[in-house]
Amino acid sequence: MDNQFKMLPLCFTFLVFIFLVLKLWMRSKIKDSPKNLPPAPWKLPLIGHLHLLMFSLPHHRLTELAKRHGSLMHLQLGELSHIVVSSPEAAKEVMKTHDISFATRPYLLGAEIIAYNFSDIGFAPYGDYWRQLRKVCTLELLSMKRVQSFRSIREEQVSCLIRSIYSNTGLEINLGEMLCNSSYNITLRTAFTARCKQHAAFISIARKLVEAASGFSTTDLFPSVKLLPMISGMRAKLERWHHDLDAMLETIIEEHRAGNANPKDSDDVTDDLVDVLLNLQDHGGLEFPLRTDNIKAVILDMLIAGTETSSTAIEWAMSELIKNPRILEKAQAEVRQVYDRTGDVNESDLHELKYLKLVMKETLRLHPPLPFLLPRESRKRCEINRYEIPAKTKVIVNAWAIGRDSNYWNEAERFYPERFIDSSVEYKGTNFEFIPFGAGRRICPGISMVWLWLSFPLHNYFIILIGSSLMV
């Protein structure tokens, strides 16, 4: 009898599985697919092309498939139709020629739960609310004036980093981890001013959220199976992360409200991002008033973009420099030259470090922080290169493949910063062969801040490598 009861959960799971398979099979039989979709590989019943993404990195696999089937390729992943964009020409069609048709985001369970029901700028559907948020970010949160106002925070964190390194002279240290933690601290202090007491917990959850936002979760690929988020445990996991993050953000916002009730005496104290949003909530006169959940969602966007983007790029840059001693020595020589002339190297000198900028651009070309840009969705039916793209089709832009397109880049797989000397190609969304931050209406609104987050830690990496004589 005990054994029979032990078998019940297994039997129940098996019956649910059979039911789901039959349901998906029936749906696939009655679905009327457009006849003129872009080329596609051979697919399996029910799961479509999902099997092609197994046992390999998705951006690598999709790059290989695009070489065989074309830079505008159709994939059926689970129940959902996807278009994969893998060339500058196709990217321009999606993010410029037909940008308005692809300006919204698909439904993702993770974005719904974590981003306060799509209240953030990254996953908010295209419309008036999103336009207001983007304007707030561009003019209030991420303007060049605002970015420059946080300079003292960046320089303080870098000084702490260098002191920490030299206090461990003779000991084994993980320099990459220390640089990334410094970048995290800069981001967190820009948002909150005070040091985040739960720094490690926040960073851990932030990394999981980036993965959850990829759109490749089975719960997102089989949306008609309403029980799947519960059966897989994904909903419970996301809600647990959301609860932990919400508690942290609520504490931070309440501390800021209490601080604003007792205004700072010094005029030199710069409002952090939470202060700016709370002020807009109280006095902004916005068409869509900011609720506390909206503020949390926007702050979450800023933090994840700042921490994950910068740390990933810094790690890749260090890896490439270690593998290329010639480039490392050239970058070090440039930093030393500026130091010998000024007696110091700080943020105001970044514009003189021209080779450093080339190194960062080449890093972003070969290793965009997000190999796939955040997914888009077609708002209506349209045609690209005579192919039909139905409404509600998800669009994956493979920025990793585009940055390695041999039609645009000589020796595309080689790390060679000099390729950008006298080149007009920039990362700001106008050159579609180089789109690490996206393009069109959905381009990253904080490129200027992200660039500083990337450049400053790396320039200090060069200072550290030059030797302690510079910083003692």
Q: Which CATH architecture has domain 94-470?
A: Orthogonal Bundle (1.10)
Give the C-alpha separation, 249 to 392, whole Å.
Answer: 33
Kindly state the average pLDDT of the residues 125-130.
96
Give the C-alpha separation, 424 to 439, whole Å.
Answer: 16
Kindly state the average pLDDT of the residues 152-167.
78
| Helical spans, DSSP H, in 150-271 | 151-167, 175-192, 199-212, 218-221, 228-232, 234-261
Query: Which pLDDT score, from 0 to 100, does residue 469 have?
Result: 40
Query: Which pLDDT score, from 0 to 100, does residue 188 have?
Result: 79
CB 78 within 8 A of CB 23: no
Kindly state the average pLDDT of the residues 138-145.
84
List, as residue ranges, the binding site.
444
- Of the candidates 232, 271, 168, which has an alpha carbon nearest to the alpha carbon of residue 20? 232
Q: pLDDT-derived band of residue 177, with 50, 70 and 90 as boundaries?
A: confident
Percent of the chain whose predicted confidence (pLDDT) is above 70 = 82
pLDDT, the chain, mean:
83
Give the C-alpha separation, 366 to 317, whole Å.
Answer: 10
Of the candidate ranges 105-109, 212-216, 312-316, 406-410, the one whose mean pLDDT is the lowest: 212-216
List, as residue ranges, the binding site for heme.
444
Strand partners, 398: 372
**Which SS3 state, helix, strand or coil, does residue 87 take?**
coil
Side-chain-side CA neighbours of residue 193 (13 Å): 15
CB 319 within 8 A of CB 304: no
Q: What confidence tens digit (pLDDT) does each residue in 209-245 have?
A: 766 666 688 889 999 888 888 988 989 999 998 998 8
Percent of the chain whose predicted confidence (pLDDT) is above 90 = 44
Q: Is the pLDDT of residue 197 over 70?
A: no
Give the C-alpha separation, 400 to 397, whole Å.
Answer: 9
Q: What confidence tens digit (pLDDT) does each residue in 414-451 have?
A: 999 999 999 999 999 999 999 999 999 999 887 877 77
Q: Is the pLDDT of residue 344 over 70?
A: no
Q: Is the pLDDT of residue 149 over 90?
A: no
Of the candidate ranges 55-64, 253-262, 321-330, 379-388, the one whose mean pLDDT is the lowest: 253-262
Q: Where are the domains of the chain?
A: 94-470
